[in-house]
Amino acid sequence: MPTMNEVKSRPVAALAAYYPLEIGGERVDALSGKTFPVINPATGQTLCEIAEGDAADIEAAVAAAEKAAPAWGGMSPLQRAEILNRAAAILAERMPSFVEIEVAQTGRPIREMKAQLARMPEWYSYFGAVARTYESSVPPFGGSYVNYTRRKPIGVVGLVTPWNHPLLILTKKVAPALAAGNTVVVKPSEIAPITPLMLADVLRDAGLPDGAYNVVPGFGVAAGASLCDHPRIGKLDLTGGTETGRKVAAMAGEKLIPFSGELGGKASVVVFDDVPEQEAVAAALFASFVAAGQTCVQGARLLVQRNIYDKVVELLVKRTDALRVGDPTDPRTQMGPLVSARQLAIVEKYVEIGRQEGATVAAGGERLTDGAFANGFFHAPTVFTDVTNDMRIAQEEIFGPVVCVMPFEGEDEAVTLANGTPFGLAASVWSRNVARAHRVAERIDAGIVWINDHHRIDPSSPWGGFKDSGIGKENGIVCYEGYTKLQSVVVNLSDETFDWFADDETEKRYS
């Protein structure tokens, strides 16, 4: 049983009682007048009310973004970079308020959110630098021609963001989209919409034109569907589940606009026998239980070479049982609650499925309900052993603090197991043998592979998956390019007259 810290109901200093929509540089109520509550997952109490946007509000936001597009897209890259750099500085200054709100709306421990959010300003300064320094190409066209390319803004882009990393995942989309000269309409998760609204003040104070950044919280069936199906959106970028991604990609396909989707995952942590057991277990704990497992790159599958498997399991169970679960505002807390009652129910369902499939619950396996925990959405960190790769708990994304441990004999079986899911977002390989580590990493069919680490990110490092984990990339120059339209300009430098249909018996060059 994990160690439990008492959950206390603390006031959130940075929190307002009500948050309207952000459209055209103004805070406005939803046209319907509706609102919905945001719930603190640690206490079950209402944090605040949020304006509930729908199709009419999405239309207003798109119109505002269209109005702002010429001014923002017409600025020089240097001007945009200066504004993004100011945004980075302002965000860093206001970071304590963002951390407090993120903890309150997601339930993630403050020790995690401080570490994660401290890096957010880097995305704005990085993509400002990319915009400032990006160089177009001059393809070798041949003959008396010069061919050059240039990147142009797409226009208005729609961003659909999740609840598990509200500011991080939003920032990974907003920074490159704005750097490339686009204006944006954001539909954040209804579970954690507060910090996306707070970001509007940062960008406004940095000098972003009114209407370049719009936020319409609401529910997927109304606001989300309206944004994704809007006829004047130039690109859709979604982070969410695979099935939702398929539907949004189909909408984009109907309109023949670009789509980028960072979707589901079922990451494997591959541990070879030359890694000390204590180090392997520390790696597994971080990969499996950071964010209470609510991350698309969670190390949900721990693959351990057979001759150290028993020892690793023994140590893993011992350390899992010792994790401090509780009040996310307490710096000592190592794991907080699930984000919602729905997510808790999903985890409980899969734990029961695992039992029915014949897997062994070696640690955890139950909801935490004692005392103050009864009002929150807490589940014990859970370890399954006796797992086979065909079990649902080994194949399907649970998105909670559940890890399946499976043994393997050698490299070939490790790779087969690591690739043996429909997903291909991320994996990690742990080995002191440098050649083996690189060899295995190359064979794993995932968009991100860490060697001797897990869940590391940088604004310059491309992020995105293969297979059912989505298409497109976040981060890096490739992401910046994905928010642009590529135009090729071909210039004829010859002074000679060209007349294809002239009857002068000369051989004509067509291409």
CA 233 to chain centre: 21
Domain boundaries, the chain: 20-263+466-489, 268-451
Rounded alpha-carbon distances, angstroms, from residue 146 to 135, 140, 248, 489: 16, 8, 39, 8
- Cβ 282 vs Cβ 430: under 8 Å: no
| Cα dihedral 164, 116, 405, 362 in deg (nearest 10) | -80
C-alpha span between 492 and 455 (Å, rounded): 50
SS3 sequence of 385-427: ECCCCCCHHHHCCCCCCEEEEEEECCHHHHHHHHCCCCEECEE
The neighbour count for residue 9, using CB atoms within 10 Å, is 13
Picking from 285, 41, 348, the residue whose alpha carbon sits closest to that of residue 166 is: 41
Please give the pLDDT value at position 501: 87
Please give the pLDDT value at position 511: 62
Please give the pLDDT value at position 416: 98
Structure tokens at 325: 């679960």
Residues with Cβ within 8 Å of 308's Cβ and at least 6 positions away in sequence, in order, are 271, 273, 275, 277, 280
The enclosing H or E element of 229 equals none
Per-residue pLDDT for 234 more than 70? Answer: yes
C-alpha span between 239 and 375 (Å, rounded): 29
Per-residue pLDDT for 406 more than 90? Answer: yes
* The listed CATH number (3.40.50.720, 3.40.50.740, 3.40.605.10, 2.70.70.10) that belongs to domain 20-263+466-489: 3.40.605.10
- Cβ 293 vs Cβ 402: under 8 Å: yes
Residues with Cβ within 8 Å of 11's Cβ and at least 6 positions away in sequence, in order, are none
Q: Which sign, positive or negative, has the C-alpha torsion 473, 337, 382, 317? A: positive
Band the pLDDT of 263: cuts 50, 70, 90: very high
Please give the pLDDT value at position 500: 84
Q: Classify each residue of 20-38 as buried b or exposed e, where b means 16 or more C-beta atoms within 10 Å of its C-beta.
A: bbbbbbeebebeeeebbeb
20-263+466-489 and 268-451 in the same fold: no
Q: Which sign, positive or negative, has the C-alpha torsion 361, 362, 368, 370? A: positive
> Rounded mean pLDDT of the chain?
96
Picking from 225, 198, 239, 1, the residue whose alpha carbon sits closest to that of residue 100 is: 198
CATH no. for 268-451: 3.40.309.10
Residues marked active site are found at 173, 262, 296, 474
Band the pLDDT of 363: cuts 50, 70, 90: very high
Per-residue pLDDT for 424 more than 90? Answer: yes
Please give the pLDDT value at position 127: 98
Please give the pLDDT value at position 7: 74
Rounded alpha-carbon distances, angstroms, from residue 19 to 51, 52, 156, 338, 462: 6, 10, 24, 23, 33
Average pLDDT in the 244-250 region? 97
Which pLDDT tens digit goes with each residue over 477-509? 999 999 999 999 999 999 988 888 888 877 777
Average pLDDT in the 1-28 region? 83
Per-residue pLDDT for 1 more than 60? Answer: no
